[in-house]
Structure 1
């Protein structure tokens, strides 16, 4: 099968080439549009901006083998800072711009980057798809150079509590680009992408941004993440268009009233959480194109796909991955642990990554059906949240005695016992300082005591918790 975009070496490199950013992401005709954040950006302009940013990073003290953390909203500034840091052969940590200052401080203390890149002003509009930012470079006195050869560090839940640091090399990213290039229904040269997913998480970063640069499928980020804003971004160009987002975005578009004719819309692809039954049919009925799905993890990127919607609920594993089902859990072969400095055989051992996802693998076709999470990590609007972190943060507040956090019907709920005289509004205010909005419980229910088992363990059954909350009213 012919690969889209620039040819990838076969076999793939064993080590990350020093010029991998130029080879796989920046190469191409200078006058060719590659990005659109409001205004189009061609490759010549992108190369010039990246070169200038690299000089600024070097002037701020970032050397090859150094470390940098990016805390930037979706923007041209983010793309430029990311590519320039990699050109400088630095290890890049991505921090979601929606994290609170408290969460960012915890992450910086944990990871100790040498340089922090942040926006001069925080984004004000919640529904803005992108921002116009001026990156500010802040050297950190206690920063440390990279201890591993990885190019990218991400946090498993976009958080800093019990989440794991996940590391990927440049070769890992090139391998994932090769997987996308082998998918005949994924955007390639002559097409375009409208990206709704966050660029600090794996789908938006690799499947959206990096693949668009490599495959020469120009990427557009809508000005507003509303149904009207997304549809306007699709309608703004006649080239075949794929929309990439999370199921929430598909729900939003499926419910749009009287959308305009969009003959250029080829399909929408979603990932990040299970799609509710009925959504693919509703989306196709509204737009006449398939709602494709992908399954992946931060540790590996894309794992399996159903881009045409014809395999539902099954997905086809991508090229080069070996999967197995052990006691109902999906496991994936990996040569080494993706968790630097962490020996955790419950997640990776003997060459196998435990996904903690329940799954079935068809013995005849090798196709996989993902049934849902088996641990405390959940997905809220496509963003990963660790319920343990939320619970521990809530329980650590001075006016909270104990707490249980659960996930029901797509929302986080908390049940807690407050100290005598505790102020619910004050607890909400403290929680807002420590957790990003997407992590905060939708509802706090105050009880005099949390229900427990006969052995004294806290009950986490939602119906029992709700009965206890009703009795306390």
Structure 2
């Protein structure tokens, strides 16, 4: 068993000790497990060097690494040279020392990925943010993480410059100015010796979206980055060197960082990085680049199937389709399977735990469930006091594995980590054979006249109606019943908005008390930049009439 508490951390290579100094107290750490042989990492470990330099040694420098529409493909050797030149700029020109936080911002491109790897090799701490983040959000993240350096796509500089972060030094890339990172890097050596960081030195700070409050910075170690590849990537995804990855999540979202950078590089595979990666862009990209591994959200799978030109795209190169970010309804799973013959790999992950920890693939998939604990991870269902609940009884999903929640100086650590487990905020049921079935977010359970109504179950029923393309069910206060279920529905183009017909359809699918009392038709559901449904906006006064 590996060390599990801050008191037993290895000597740090960070000269800037801010991150380690602000780890949660030892008593607030979750238990960690390293019961797979592949998770026993050496004390000195740099994940950037492992993902890039070690992969070049294993597979050679000539293999393709990153593709980008309209640009030449980068080989692993070209990527390595670019990363090492950027690392020299960081340390030689910008004065970045190990442990400094470096904010990364821009569309999903090979150069942004190279910047992330360079920060890793230089011993810095990457703070990768969404390109859509606004100045106030950026200022808050810079304040929380005390960021003083930023590498930013020249097209995304304006909002970062407007952020109230007076000590932030911004270095653009992809522009034509004399201080542009690409120009500074051009004269540097293509060889850089990675900083020998400790396996438990902080490598990245990933911020939650902050849509309902102040963002939380989730600190992850160098070993954590490899652990997600050596659990989900190796044992569920089973990536091969010949795979071509792509997907919709940006690199500022840990779902995207894992799916588009960490997993392919760990396997010696390549990734197609798309600046625009909505469903309309994914279909032609899959066909043109013969993509074999796809990462996206449930809505994208349904939207691609509804595309009138679906039949004109050749998607036969796909062999792995991963869905996460929100629950995958059984109806969506079956629709994709019927159209493609592919079994979507459903999964649940969290920014706090970096990536997916419950999932299943191939014959182990059971539509309507999330799956089983990923090898290397453990899960149980608990009540509010931490007691394990019997199979079949809904409760809180608690998870333990090689990665644990470590908020950056945030009192909400005590909410997420309870009784030594990471408590994700999801209500689940464990079936007698060990499968975990999603019920609702813990705060999304609708209690109406004493009945528990799980919004996702009602959504799944609505989505089985041929006219419904999206659905979200939320609770609204009601003087008589406490709450009533309100369904917000998006219909296919040209469909008639008939709430009574939809209500009768749901009553035929579910027991009557689960039928929405009200149905509201919307042109689109509110979502974050990463495609995650913003249920809280549907609960706001005036949003649902």
Same fold flag (TM > 0.5): yes
Change (3 A) 1:441 1:196: closer
CA deviation after TM superposition for structure 1 residue 320, in Å: 1.4
Structure 1 segment 10-409 matched on structure 2, within 5 A: 10-13=38-41, 15=43, 17-18=45-46, 20-26=47-53, 27-28=55-56, 29-38=60-69, 39-58=72-91, 59-122=93-156, 133-134=174-175, 149-157=201-209, 161-183=213-235, 185-222=237-274, 224-238=276-290, 241-259=292-310, 260-300=313-353, 301-308=355-362, 310-314=365-369, 315-327=371-383, 328-333=395-400, 337-343=405-411, 344-362=413-431, 364-375=432-443, 409=488
**Cα distance in structure 2, aligned partners of 1:319 and 1:330:** 17
**Shift of residue 293 of structure 1?**
1.1
C-alpha RMSD over aligned residues = 3.7
Would you say the 8 A contact 1:334–1:353 is kept in 2? no
Distance 1:106 1:224 in 2: 26
Q: Per-residue displacement from partner, 1:18-72 (whole Å, max 9, x unpaired)?
A: 4x32223342211100111123110010001001101111110101122211122
Q: Hey, what's the Cα distance between the residues in 2 that align with 1:16 and 1:31? A: 28
Q: Quickly say closer, same or farther: Cα 1:65–1:258, change in 2 above 3 A.
A: closer
In structure 1, C-alpha distance between the alignment counterparts of 2:270 and 2:531, rounded to whole Å: 29
Q: How many residues align?
A: 379
- CA distance in 2 between partners of 1:173 and 1:63 (Å): 21
Quick one: structure 1 residues 183 and 407, their matched pair in 2 at CA, closer, same or farther if it must change by over 3 Å?
A: farther
How far apart in 1 are the matches of 2:209 and 2:309?
36
Describe the SS at the equivalent of 1:346: helix
Look up the SS of the partner of 1:190 in the other structure: coil
| TM-score, normalised via structure 1 length | 0.71
TM-score (normalizing by structure 2): 0.62
Contact 2:250 2:530 in 1 (8 A): no
**5+ long unaligned stretches in structure 1:** 1-7, 125-131, 138-145, 380-386, 388-405, 412-434, 445-459
Pairwise CA distance, 1:75 = 1.1
2:323–2:345 contact (8 Å) kept in structure 1: yes
Write the distance in 2 (CA, Å) between the matches of 1:184 and 1:354. 23
Distance in 2, Cα, partners of 1:407 & 1:48: 55
Higher relative contact order (CA 8 A, sep 6+): 2
Question: Offset of 1:288 from its aligned partner?
Answer: 2.8
Structure 1 residue 219: Cα displacement = 0.7
Task: Please give the secondary structure, in 2, of the residue aligned with 1:369.
Answer: strand
Instruction: Note the C-alpha offset of 1:441.
Output: 8.2
Quick one: structure 1 residues 274 and 10, their matched pair in 2 at CA, closer, same or farther if it must change by over 3 Å?
closer
Alignment check: 8 A CA contact 2:110 2:273 kept: no
The 2-side partners of 1:277 and 1:205 are apart by 26
Equivalent-residue separation in structure 2 for 1:175 and 1:185 (angstroms): 14
> Matched residues in 2 for 1:68 and 1:218: separation?
25
Give the C-alpha shift of residue 359 in structure 1.
0.6
Residue 415 of structure 1: aligned partner: none
Where does residue 453 of structure 1 map in the other structure? none
3-state secondary structure, aligned to 2:116 = helix
Structure 2: runs of 5+ lacking an equivalent: 1-35, 159-172, 182-196, 384-394, 446-454, 457-473, 475-484, 491-527
Structure 1 segment 432-447 matched on structure 2, within 5 A? none
CA gap of 1:160–1:80, structure 2 versus 1, over 3 A, is farther
Q: Give, in angstroms, the shift of residue 331 of structure 1.
A: 0.7
